[in-house]
Copies of this chain bind each other. A is one copy, B any other.
Amino acid sequence: MATNVTITDIAKELNTTPATVSRALNNHSSISEETRARVWEVAKRLNYRPNSIATSLRSGKSHLIGVIIPSAKINFFGSVVHGIESLASEHGYNVLIYQTNESREHEKKGIQAFLNARVDGILVSMAKETHDYKHFLEARDSGTPIVFFDRANEDLDIASVVIDDYKGAYMATEHLIQQGYKRIAHIAGPQHIRLFNNRLRGYLGALQANNITIDSSLIYTGNISIEAGKTAIEHFLSLPNPPDAVFSVEDFTALGALKALKEHQILIPEQFGVIGFANEEFGEHTTPSLSTLDQQTVLMGEAAFTLLQEQINMKTSTQMKAKKVVLDPIPVYRQSSTRH
């Protein structure tokens, strides 16, 4: 029952030694075809399962990779994990997950747990709360490769995979321009978070590139929530010269905007264009459906794993500068911004 059979058991059964069994099972070169076959036969018969804990202890490689995310409940991270696990599994790695719930304390605990487990590498999307990076450096210095995804820190010399927020915002804004909207507003997120700042810059960059004067009254900075989107629209509509389109920093805020505009009986996209960012699931099903930018979540997971694997396979001596992979967001233009 609960007794797991070991190579010693097999050896006894065959009046040979564990070493021979080990060699046979690992298809080692110097072993006679006959013993190999006999060993495999017995192994199968006894239902032998290699104890990967023992192998790990001996080899020093756990074939485990640790993934730290804010929450598995958040769609985005679920998708990234999907990408990570698919590739990892294919390459013989098992995946450990740990949720921080946005707490730096938990994040630290996660890193500790992973280091104790001797994971071969760590993938992390930082908690919002985190402004102190000791625990990451500690991991890296202990020789465990780390790769950030989505939420990264540029200054840390740690590899990362992120979305090009500037480019996405630029594309979204330019799309609105091409659709013929004249006064394009932006609902911005908290500016101390870099990615929101990048999106604001992308918006400004697109306006400038198209010789459109920037009107600061058309930039509303708030939280990211449905409520914030509604408030932003109320603000915009109260302006003497209101906008006729908005690039919203994020889909939920865009949804708020959509709702507020509908309450005001403003036709979307005819009178007012709306585009968000993130490609949340609901966007396809709102009325009108919401234009947005897809963040390539699965690809991000795969890229992060690939980067990590490179580091794992690299001789630790071959220390080179941390790679940064920047993924292009994919435009998803739906009804809310498409006039033609």
Contact = CB atoms under 8 A, between A and B. Distances in A.
Interface of A: 1-4, 47, 49-54, 56-57, 62, 71-75, 77-79, 81-82, 85-86, 89, 94-99, 101, 109, 112-113, 115-118, 138, 141-143, 255, 262, 280-282, 284-287, 298, 316
Given A53-B57, A98-B94, A141 B1 contact: yes
Given A47-B138, A72-B82, 7 more contacts: A2-B316, A74-B78, A85-B98, A85-B99, A95-B98, A282-B285, A286-B286
Nearest to A301: B72
Contact of A89 (B98, B115, B284): B98
Closest 5 CB pairs of A and B: A2-B143, A78-B78, A282-B282, A73-B82, A72-B82
Interface centre among A89, A97, A117 (most CB of B within 10 A): A97
Contacts of A78: 72-75, 77-78, 81
Give the one of A50, A78, A142 with max B CB within 10 A: A78
Report which residue of A72, A75, A86 has the largest number of chain B beta carbons within 10 angstroms of its beta carbon. A72
A16 to B, nearest CB: 23
Given A52-B117, A282-B285, A285-B286, A99 B89 contact: yes
6 contacts: A51-B57, A53-B57, A53-B117, A53-B118, A85-B98, A94-B113
Contacts of A99: 82, 85-86, 89
A81 B86 CA distance: 17
Copies of this chain, tallied across the complex: 2
A133 B286 CA distance: 41
Contact of A118 (B51, B109, B112, B282): B51
A197 to B, nearest CB: 27
B52 A72 contact: no
Contact of A49 (B3, B62, B116, B282): B116
A64 to B, nearest CB: 8
A85 B57 contact: no
A255 B289 CA distance: 13
Contacts of A2: 142-143, 316
B113 A85 contact: no
Contacts of A81: 72, 78, 97
Contacts of A62: 53
Contacts of A141: 1
Contacts of A89: 98-99, 109
B4 A49 contact: no
Nearest to A79: B73
Nearest to A86: B99
Contacts of A255: 285
A89 B141 CA distance: 25
Contact of A116 (B50, B74, B282): B50
